[in-house]
Structure 1
């Protein structure tokens, strides 16, 4: 498998890429770049051939409570890119707010951070990313962690980190444009179809019955006789 830093990757208009050594965090690189006023649309991606880790810098011109809906945007971009590249029997789902599942098993996560936490303020930057494993880490074999999986174990042997990254960037841009034109509603509907524990009793990230999402992508949780709203802003990476 070719190292990501040896291949010229193709990104859609407005997006561009920067390779990061495998021992570095794309998320931290993106946050540092964002704090240094880098132009939005920069995608940091790891050269690690065993895992696709990527983070993108965005500059929303809307309040944080609305901008965090972009987390669902990048998740739907991932679902569509795997839908295009992986065998048809591969099922991709999400658990709110950041868990990726492939064929019912945990397979990576998404992460996000903004320049501020005030939901009513417009953030200077928003960094969104995900990490999804292609290969098991050294010393780990299939079956060691039955609730976890990697893409190569789910029939995705013809999918590479760079092909998934390129496809994700294109599908994410499509969803991002829909989000900017139509709001969260179409993303909201599509994401709910990809959530495999909607309407069920859950224990993570909080215990209760997962009733759905509000108009901004926050979790509506039923606990005893109370209906609570768990906000995306409370689950940003620190």
Structure 2
């Protein structure tokens, strides 16, 4: 799995594999990245789309997978690990970052955001897709949506002790961590990255846990095996409010 393009220093300080592209607040990164990938996957690989909003961190990156779709979807789990690492690097260290399978990111027990994955609709499971799009959304501030106390199920970066103007730093950190994750996958295999993901999944506590070759989580406890399917849970992520297109408050 590779990403390849050139950095746009006018937007962000990104690893050489990425080109940063900003889009207006009226757009969403997931849709914009999919459109660019569908138009020209070869040229678009490595594009990091960032929406110019102050209340949300909304980004998406176009990836060029090098294996069949069924196993390439594990890139989603790498994206979540990179997102966790970025948030953890800038947030209060004592606050736990956990996951609800597969892509809801919880900060200190409240929903902060999550990730999504897209791939070509016509691609067969055993075929190599031309592209993948990993997208992530985090709530930066709930101020414009009224009293945060009325939406205790969710939280925001500005409520959790993150510094001001944290968006760009988080995006840069995410890009660096994503590149490291893919390098680790290529050099050392997937098992270490799977363990890092599972360490943040409370559903795996007390179980012998692993990630299958198709990205499913397999949990064994008390002689019983539970499988958490990846692909069916990527179409419409649980953290996203379909009415607003944003993180559920």
TM-score range, shorter chain: 0.7 to 0.9
CA distances 1:35-94 after superposition (whole Å, capped 9, x unpaired) = 011331100011101110000001101011211111111111111112222221232221
- 1:92, 1:102 within 8 Å by CA — same for their partners in 2? yes
**In the TM superposition, what is the alpha-carbon distance from 1:215 to its structure 2 partner?**
4.0
Question: What is the aligned counterpart of 2:78 among 73, 81, 84?
Answer: 73
Match of 2:27 in 1: 24
**In the TM superposition, what is the alpha-carbon distance from 1:211 to its structure 2 partner?**
6.1
- 1:184, 1:216 within 8 Å by CA — same for their partners in 2? no
**In the TM superposition, what is the alpha-carbon distance from 1:17 to its structure 2 partner?**
0.7
Question: 1:119 & 1:231 partners in 2: Cα distance?
Answer: 14
**In the TM superposition, what is the alpha-carbon distance from 1:177 to its structure 2 partner?**
1.1
- 2:57, 2:140 within 8 Å by CA — same for their partners in 1? yes
What secondary structure, in the 3-state scheme, does the structure 2 residue paired with 1:173 have? Answer: helix
- 2:65, 2:130 within 8 Å by CA — same for their partners in 1? yes
Question: 1:196 & 1:174 partners in 2: Cα distance?
Answer: 25
**Distance verdict in 2 for CA 1:210–1:95, change over 3 Å:** farther
Correspondence 1:158-197 to 2 at 5 A: 158=164, 160-197=166-203
Per the normalisation by structure 1, the TM-score is 0.84
**In the TM superposition, what is the alpha-carbon distance from 1:139 to its structure 2 partner?**
3.0
**Distance verdict in 2 for CA 1:181–1:46, change over 3 Å:** same
**1:122 has 2:128 as partner:** yes
- 1:119, 1:233 within 8 Å by CA — same for their partners in 2? no
Question: 2:165 & 2:94 partners in 1: Cα distance?
Answer: 14
**Distance verdict in 2 for CA 1:229–1:197, change over 3 Å:** closer
Unaligned runs of 5+ in 1: 1-6, 201-208
**In the TM superposition, what is the alpha-carbon distance from 1:171 to its structure 2 partner?**
1.0
Question: 1:176 & 1:159 partners in 2: Cα distance?
Answer: 28
Question: 1:134 & 1:155 partners in 2: Cα distance?
Answer: 11
Count of aligned pairs: 222
What secondary structure, in the 3-state scheme, does the structure 1 residue paired with 2:149 have? Answer: coil
Unaligned runs of 5+ in 2: 1-9, 237-249
Match of 1:234 in 2: 232
Match of 2:6 in 1: none
Question: 2:74 & 2:160 partners in 1: Cα distance?
Answer: 29
**Distance verdict in 2 for CA 1:102–1:159, change over 3 Å:** farther
**1:104 has 2:109 as partner:** yes
**1:46 has 2:44 as partner:** no
Match of 1:135 in 2: 141
Match of 1:90 in 2: 95
**In the TM superposition, what is the alpha-carbon distance from 1:183 to its structure 2 partner?**
2.7
